[in-house]
Every structure is written in structure tokens, then in C-alpha cells.
Amino acid sequence: MKILKFIGSSQEDLVNFPRDARRECGRELDRAQRGLMPTDFKPMLNVGKGAYEIRVHVLGEWRVLYVARHADAVYVLHAFQKKSPKTAKPDIDLAIRRYKQMENDV
């Protein structure tokens, strides 16, 4: 099973989700750690190769952007509440910066 590595404030952001949303995100990240795809996700090609968005619909809309293409770990780039139909540009930009940081650290 792969370990989780959090980039930037993604772990703190995830911890601040409501309990039920946080638990569901944890279950979905566990699937990624085991080499499975989340139950509700979409590829985030605009963030980078191998980036995916976990979509959780509990007490609002919650998202976790991650990369699992490396052999050793699942990298969590960003965790946030989605408030509009389209992912906000600042959230995408932050995930892109963290993706680049992850690539430099790997």
C-alpha cells in the first residue's frame, strides 16, 4: 500500500472538512493508496499528468486533488470545498504549483 504525502497545506485543509466529508475523502484516498480508482472522480489533465479529482457530495461539495502515478506514494495536492459548477481558477493554479513542487521533490 502506498503512503500519503501531503503537499503544502492540503492535510490541514482536509482535516478542516466536516467530519462526514473528511471520512468519505479518507475512504477514497485509501482506494487510491491500494491502487484502485475512487468511486467518483475525474482526471485533471490541466493540473498535470496523472492528476485526479476526488468528488465528495456530503454536506456540500468537497474535492481532493491527488497524484498516484508514483510507485511509493499518493501525493495530495489540494483539498477544498467547491462552491460553483466549475473549479475555481485559484484552486487549479494552486494545484498546478503544488504539482510542480511534487515533481521537483520526487
61 three-class SS: strand
Cβ atoms within 10 Å of 81's Cβ, excluding its own? 16
Q: How far apart are CA 103 and CA 14, in angstroms?
A: 22
What pLDDT digit, counting tens, does each position of 28-82 carry?
999 999 999 999 999 999 999 999 999 999 999 999 999 999 889 999 999 999 9
Residue 63 · residue 82 · CB < 8 Å:
yes
Confidence band for 3, pLDDT divided at 50, 70 and 90:
very high
Query: Shortest CA distance to 91 belongs to which of 57, 61, 65?
Result: 65
Domains and CATH numbers, the chain: 3-105 (3.30.2310.20)
Amino acid letter at 20?
Answer: D
